[in-house]
Structure 1
Amino acid sequence: MTVTQPDVTVVIGAYEAMPYLVECLASVEAQTIDPERIEVIAVDDGSTDGTGECLEEFADRAPMPVTVIRQENSGGPSGPRNVGLAKAAGRYVFFLDADDRLGPEALERMVAMADRAGTDVVLGRIEGVNRGAPKSMWGRTLERTDVFSSNIKFTLSAQKLFRRALLDRHGMRFDESLFTGEDALFTMEAYLRADGVSVIADYTCYYLVGRDDGKHVTKSGGYTLRFDSARALMNLIADLVPEGPRRDLLMVRPFTVTLLPQFGPRFLKDTDEVRRRKLELAKPLMDVHWNEGVAGRLKVEERLRLHLVAERRLELLVDVLEFVRAKKQAPALLERRGRRLYLAYPHFRDRAAGVPDSVYLASPREARAFPGYREGGTGSLLRRAARRVRRALTSSGGVTPGGTAAAA
C-alpha cells in the first residue's frame, strides 16, 4: 500500500488548554480540505487539566491521521512546536495554538494559494475573539509579496502556512531560549528567506481567541523578556538585511511593537529601580540599531520617546509620558510656507533640554492630517529641478526668454 505525502501538517502545541482545546480540535475536524491531505501532530506539554486525554480522544475519532505526543513541561511554546515540526511529513506546516481555531476553509485555501503562487509562506486573515488582532495587512489579497513591500512585518505570530522545504533547507526551528517573541523571530526569518509570501485577505482563516483566565502566552512574562525578544529580532534583521533603507524599514517593527511599550505610560508606574534597569537594557539596542533612517519612519511622539531613551534623559521622558497620559494634543507649528510641520511636544525648542528640532518634525504622512500643511513632495522637487534646467538653458542660449527652444 502506497502512503501519499500529506499536503499539510497541523502542529498543535498544547498546555493547560481546556476547555478551549475542544473548539480548536472541532475546527480542525471541520476543515473542508480532504482529511487524507492533512495530518495532525499534537504535543501535550505536561498539562494537568485533561488536555492530553482530550487530544487522545480526538485521535481515536478524527478522520485524518493524528499523532499525540505527551511530554514533561518545557516551559514555553517553542519546545512543543519544535517536537511537532521534527515529525512533520506534510509539504506545508501550519502551527495552530490550542486555544485558537481555524475557519472551515482555511487549510484548503492556504494550500491552494501556495501551490498556485509558488510562495513559501501564506498568511490567512486573522480575526480576534475577545482580544485584538493585527489589521493593517488585510487590505487586499496578494498572490505574491514580500516583507518590504507590504505590512506583513506587523503580524509575526507563528499561525501561518510555511513550506516545509524552506524550514528544512535553513534548519529553522523556534528559539527555545526565548519565552516571548519566539514566533516573531521564526516568522521574520521565514519572510526574509522565502521565495515570495501570499496574503489571503478576503476570508478569515484564523480566530485568535482571548482566554477568560488571562493565561494567553502573549500576556505572560516580565519586562526583561521583552528586551530579550527585541534584541533577538533586531539582531536577526541586522544579520540578514544589509545596512540601509530596507533594514531601517524592518527595524520599525521591534522598536515600535516590542521596545516602545516599555517606555509608555506604564513606565510612570515603574519604580525608580525598574526605570533605571529598563534604560540599561535598552542602551545596547539603541547604541547599535537606532539611527536616523529608523527614526524618520516613526510618528513624532514615538520618535521623541525613543530619542530620549537613547539619550538616557529620564526626566524629559517622564515629562513627555505625563503629557501623553493626559491625552493632550501637541500644538502644530507650520513653517516654510506650510511645507514643514513641527509637533510641539514637551521641551520643543527648550534650550536647556537641547532636543534637536528634527525630532519634532512630522513626516509628510503624519503632517497631512493638519490643515494648512502643503506637502513639498516629489512634484515640488520635479518643479524645482525643471526650473534649474530652464535657467541653465537660458543662460547658455538654449532657450529664448519666452521659454521656447531657440532655432538650430
Structure 2
Amino acid sequence: MTQPDVTVVIGAYEAMPYLVECLASVEAQTLDHARIEVIAVDDGSTDGTGECLEQFAARTDMPVTVIRQDNSGGPSGPRNVGLDKAAGRYVFFLDADDRLGPEALERMVAMADRNGTDVVLGRVEGINRKPPQSMWGRTLERTDVWSSNIKFTLSAQKLFRRELLNRHSMRFDESLWTGEDALFTMEAYLRADGVSLIDDYTCYYLVGREDGKHVTKSGSYTLRFDSARALMTLISDMLPPGPRRDMLMVRPFVVTLLPQFGPKYLRDSEKVRRHKFELAKPLLDAYWTDEVAHRLRVEERLRMHAVAEQRPELLLELLEFRRAKKEPEALLEKRGRRVYFAYPHFRDTAAGVPDALYLAEPREARAVPGYREGGLDSFVRRAVRKARRTLPSRSRDVRPAAAA
C-alpha cells in the first residue's frame, strides 16, 4: 500500500451537527483521495457523533479508520490516539466543529514538499469566531518563529511533518485541560526546519458553535495559569535566558495571563483576586524581564508590573481608569522623540512606578501627533558627521594614478 501524503486526525466529542459539514469538507478535498487517510476518534459522544463517523467511513472513497473510546476529558487524548495510528507523511489535526477549504490539503502538502518545511499554516477564516490576525499579510514560503508573528497562533490546526513529531516523541499533554495545543505547536515551531504560511487561500474555517462549547472558553481561571506555566516552562527549557526567550515569553503573558488581570478581575471576588496574584507570582518572578515588558503596550506593561510587584491597588486603579474609558495624556519630550502615556501614578513619587514603564515604544508612539521617530538614527548620523570632520581628507593624501 502506498504511503498517504497526509493523515487527517479528527477528535470528536458531542460534535453534531457540525461534524456533518466537517466531514463534507474532507470529502471535498482536491488532493487525490488515495493520498489522504482519515483517523477519526469518537471520545465517548452520546449525540450520534460515533454513528455519523461510521456512516462516513462506509460511504467515502478515502481510507477512514473510526475509533470509539470512553470520554478522555479533553482534546489531547483523541489527538494522541490518532497520531499513534497515523501513516501519512504529514498530519493535520482537524477539529470536528470546523472545516477545510477544498484545496487546503493539496496546497499545504505542496508547500511543505516544495520548501522542505516541517510545519505549514494555512490562512484561517472565522465563522462566528475571531481567529488570530497578526501573522497574516503575505504568503511565506519559509520562515520561523523569530521572523514572523506565528507565536500568536498556537492552535493545533496545522500541517505537521510526522517524521518531526516522531523523532522528538512529540505528543499532546493530556494533563492539561486547556492550552495543550499551544505547548505542542510551540515545540514544533522551535524544532522545525522551517515553517510556511499560505496567505492567499483560506485553508481553514474556524466555526463558533452556537452552544458556546469551545474548550478554549471553558474551565476555571486556575486552568489558565496551568496553561501559562506549562508554556513558559517549555520555552525556558528549550531556550537559554536572553532576547529570544523573552520574545516568545510575550505570548503567554499577553494571551494567557493579561486577560486574568483585565476587566474580569473587577468582577472577581476578593478571594479569587488574592488567589490570582498568588498563582501569578512565581511566573513573574521567573520570567518577567525588562525585555518582555517593553514588548507590551504601555497599559499592558503597567498591569503586569502591578502584578509582578504584588500591588493590587495599582492594578485596580488602572482597571478603573480603563473602565471609565479615559485616555491617558500623551507627553512628548526630547524634542518629540519620546512619548509618555500618563496613566495613573505617572511621576507620582509616592507610588514609585518607574518612568520607563510609561514610555511608549515606536509602534505605539507613532499614533501621537508630533512624535519624531528615529532618535537613534539621528544620533548615529550626528556621530558619523562628527567623525568625518575630525578625519583627515583622503583627497590631500592620495594622488591620482598616472594615465596609462
SS at structure 2 position matched to 1:158: coil
Residue range with higher mean Cα deviation, 367-376 or 49-58? 367-376
Distance 1:302 1:383, change over 3 A: same
* Uncovered stretches (5+) of structure 2, i.e. residues with no partner: 399-404
Residue 345 of structure 1 is matched in structure 2 by: 343
Residue 402 of structure 2 is matched in structure 1 by: none
From 206, 209, 213, the counterpart of 1:211: 209
From 268, 271, 274, the counterpart of 1:270: 268
How far is the alpha carbon of 1:386 from its aligned partner? 0.9
Q: Summarize deviations over 1:358-381 as a string: whole Å, max 9, x none.
A: 000000111111011111344213
Residue 255 of structure 2 is matched in structure 1 by: 257
SS at structure 2 position matched to 1:137: coil
SS at structure 1 position matched to 2:199: strand
Question: Which residue identity is paired with 1:82?
Answer: N
Verify: 1:357 aligned to 2:355, yes or no.
Answer: yes
From 143, 151, 154, the counterpart of 2:152: 154
Structure-1-length-normalised TM-score: 0.96
- Partners in 2 of 1:391 and 1:321 — Cα distance? 53
From 83, 87, 90, the counterpart of 1:89: 87
Question: Which residue identity is paired with 2:136?
Answer: W
SS at structure 2 position matched to 1:229: helix
Q: Summarize deviations over 1:154-210 as a string: whole Å, max 9, x none.
A: 110000000000000000000000000000000000000000000000000000000
Q: Summarize deviations over 1:41-68 as a string: whole Å, max 9, x none.
A: 0000000000000000000001100000
Residue 54 of structure 1 is matched in structure 2 by: 52
- Partners in 2 of 1:235 and 1:254 — Cα distance? 11
Residue 124 of structure 1 is matched in structure 2 by: 122
Question: Which residue identity is paired with 1:204?
Answer: T
How far is the alpha carbon of 1:387 from its aligned partner? 3.6
- Partners in 2 of 1:194 and 1:388 — Cα distance? 46
Query: Does the CA-based 8 Å contact 2:336-2:371 persist in structure 1?
Result: yes
CA RMSD of aligned residues (A): 1.2
Q: Summarize deviations over 1:265-308 as a string: whole Å, max 9, x none.
A: 11000001000000000000000000001111111001000011
SS at structure 2 position matched to 1:341: strand
* Uncovered stretches (5+) of structure 1, i.e. residues with no partner: none
Residue 332 of structure 1 is matched in structure 2 by: 330
SS at structure 1 position matched to 2:258: helix
- Partners in 2 of 1:221 and 1:181 — Cα distance? 11
Question: Which residue identity is paired with 2:374?
Answer: G
Verify: 1:73 aligned to 2:71, yes or no.
Answer: yes
Taking the TM superposition and a 5 Å limit, the aligned residue runs for 1:384-395 are 384-390=382-388, 392-393=390-391
Residue 322 of structure 1 is matched in structure 2 by: 320
Residue 169 of structure 1 is matched in structure 2 by: 167
Question: Which residue identity is paired with 1:101?
Answer: R
Residue-pair matches, total: 398
Q: Which runs of 4+ in 1 moved over 3 A?
A: 390-393, 404-408
SS at structure 2 position matched to 1:32: coil
Taking the TM superposition and a 5 Å limit, the aligned residue runs for 1:20-31 are 20-31=18-29
How far is the alpha carbon of 1:242 from its aligned partner? 2.2
Q: What is the percentage of aligned positions where both structures have the same residue? A: 79
How far is the alpha carbon of 1:388 from its aligned partner? 4.1
Query: Does the CA-based 8 Å contact 2:337-2:375 persist in structure 1?
Result: no
Structure-2-length-normalised TM-score: 0.97
How far is the alpha carbon of 1:390 from its aligned partner? 3.5
Residue 401 of structure 2 is matched in structure 1 by: none
- Partners in 2 of 1:344 and 1:358 — Cα distance? 11
